Amino acid sequence: GAGVSQSPSNKVTEKGKDVELRCDPISGHTALYWYRQSLGQGLEFLIYFQGNSAPDKSGLPSDRFSAERTGGSVSTLTIQRTQQEDSAVYLCASSPVGTKNTEAFFGQGTRLTVV
Partner 1 sequence: AQSVTQPDIHITVSEGASLELRCNYSYGATPYLFWYVQSPGQGLQLLLKYFSGDTLVQGIKGFEAEFKRSQSSFNLRKPSVHWSDAAEYFCAVGVNNQGGKLIFGQGTELSVKP
**Which of the ranges 11-19, 67-75, 78-86, 106-114 carries the binding residues for partner 1, by CB under 8 A?**
106-114
Residue 64 to residue 79: CA distance in whole angstroms: 6
Evaluated on CA atoms 6, 106, 36, 28, the torsion sign reads positive
Residue 68 to residue 10: CA distance in whole angstroms: 20
Q: Which of 56, 74, 76, 80 binds partner 1 (CB under 8 A)?
A: 56
Judging by DSSP bridges, how do beta strands 5-7 and 31-38 pair with one another?
A: unpaired
Residue 82 to residue 16: CA distance in whole angstroms: 5
DSSP state of 25: P
Under the binding rule (CB under 8 A), the answer on residue 31 touching partner 1 is yes
Residue 96 to residue 79: CA distance in whole angstroms: 27
Under the binding rule (CB under 8 A), the answer on residue 107 touching partner 1 is yes
Under the binding rule (CB under 8 A), the answer on residue 45 touching partner 1 is yes
Under the binding rule (CB under 8 A), the answer on residue 52 touching partner 1 is no
- Site string (66-85) toward partner 1, x via CB under 8 A: --------------------
Under the binding rule (CB under 8 A), the answer on residue 48 touching partner 1 is yes
Where along the sequence are the contacts to partner 1 (CB under 8 A)? 4, 31, 33, 35, 42-45, 48, 56, 91, 93-95, 97-109
